[in-house]
Structure 1
Amino acid sequence: MSLEVQVTVDAEDPGALAAFWATALGYVVQAPPPPFSSWDEALEAWGVPAGRRNDASAAVDPDDRGPRLFFQRVPEGKTAKNRVHLDLRAAPGLTGEERMAALETEAARLVGHGATRLLRVDPEPPLIGGNIVMADPEGNEFCLD
């Protein structure tokens, strides 16, 4: 049996969060099924009321290698630290200042797209290579590693 992995994220604004993570990961917001040219067109045709058209969205790997990220609207906001989070491998194979410089560059890019920088953890060889803890636009923590 073969299973595919999908990561599901609760959200206030699924469309905006899908767009952020698509940008962060080099993914794309999932396109609507044929023959529709937009999700709004598809949802209109399916009779989905305008107020429910942002109840879900997804970001997908255009190369079909990584997991699909599915964002679903929930009524409550985030209240505590994530128990599971994504690590974005922004500096694989790099060490020391070269590693931290690459992480800083990626952190600045993501802040420009709505992320928040939370904490820098400097390298402590041999166990800690250094990372930057970030939050997406809705406060979900993730690490640049």
Structure 2
Amino acid sequence: MNIQLSFDAVDPRRLADFWAYALHYRRDDPPDGFASWQDYLAAEGIPEDEWNSGDAIVPIGEEGPRIYFQRVPEEKTAKNRLHLDIVAAPGLRGEKHMAVLEARADELESRGAIRIKRFEPNESGQGWIVMEDPEGNEFCVI
């Protein structure tokens, strides 16, 4: 079964850039016969000021959902009911686990994410860091 996750966004291109980096994804390919999405949109007669109405990213060489970013006029106003977890340190526990999470959180901050809260390792040795993407969507680095 294939699924697509969709994000509402003020700036779809910016969020697609961020999440492609964060998830090790790539931009979705333009339709067959077009070298770029800009070529496709121009051929379809879409005005240039609407070219950032949507954007999509897909996994690089592995299974995973397509993620679509659609422009909406309003900014985010409430907590997400669903969020993504970035698994940064599979198999590690305790301080080694947290050191990898901290490094990944630093990388994501350099791309526009905001660190919200660090949760120390629990009895199973797992901790996590809650963050927000450039438009305020919460996610965890685990």
User: What is the TM-score normalised by the length of structure 2?
Assistant: 0.96
What is the CA distance between 1:34 and its match in structure 2? 2.5
Q: State the alpha-carbon separation in 2 of the partners of residues 33 and 50 from structure 1.
A: 18
Gaps of 5+ in 1: none
Match of 1:135? 132
Cα displacement (A) at 1:31: 2.0
Distance in 2 (CA, whole Å) between partners of 1:129 and 1:64 is 26
TM superposition shift of 1:16: 1.1
CA distance in 2 between partners of 1:64 and 1:37 (Å): 23
Q: Give the residue type in structure 1 aligned to 2:126.
A: G
- Counting aligned pairs with the same residue, the percent is 51
Q: TM-score, normalised by structure 1?
A: 0.94
SS state at 2:45 partner? coil
| 2:66 aligned to which of 65, 68, 83 | 68
Distance in 2, Cα, partners of 1:47 & 1:62: 30
- Aligned match of 2:47: 49
Residue 93 (structure 1) aligns with:
91
Runs (4 or more) in structure 1 with deviation over 4 Å come to none
* TM-superposed deviation, 1:91: 0.9
Q: 2:8 aligns with which of 2, 6, 10?
A: 10
